[in-house]
Amino acid sequence: MLDFSIDPDFQAKLDWAAAFVREEVEPLDLLFPHGGDPYDTRNTKARAILRPLQDQVREQGLWACHLGPELGGPGYGQVKLAYLNEILGRSYWAPTVFGTAAPDTGNAEILAMFGTDEQ
């Protein structure tokens, strides 16, 4: 049987993520209404706003949650990722802010499993 319970420490992280996405990230969807804006590295205004938000996510230990600790993420596993991704799915910007934007997530996972040290 699968256990979908959430431990109190991770629930606190989910609560922080929900408030952060609602208050800090979702407004970016209105400031930059084009779906591709989070990925446009030439958009200097968006990049200036993005980096400090990413730093806050890192401080909370929620950066690149799909990766294990050996690759810079916390390695939370699929159940915790599902709960976090439910929150991140509210905004075009959230995956970029949290370091989980496609195609980076899939590429990072493939490199983690099959990549060489050089890669």
What gap in Å lies between CA 110 and CA 104, rounded to an integer? 10
- pTM, rounded to two decimals: 0.85
Alpha carbon distance, N-terminus to C-terminus of the chain:
38
pLDDT digits (tens, 9 = 90+) for 32-67: 888 777 888 888 888 899 999 999 999 999 999 888
Query: H or E segment at 50?
Result: helix 44-59
pLDDT by residue (tens digit) across 100-117?
Answer: 887 666 777 777 778 888
Residue ranges of domains in the chain, CATH in brackets: 8-114 (1.10.540.10)
The token duo for 25 is 């990230």
What's the pLDDT tens digit per position in 2-17?
A: 778 899 999 999 999 9
Residue in this structure with the two tokens 């509210």, named with its chain if needed:
90
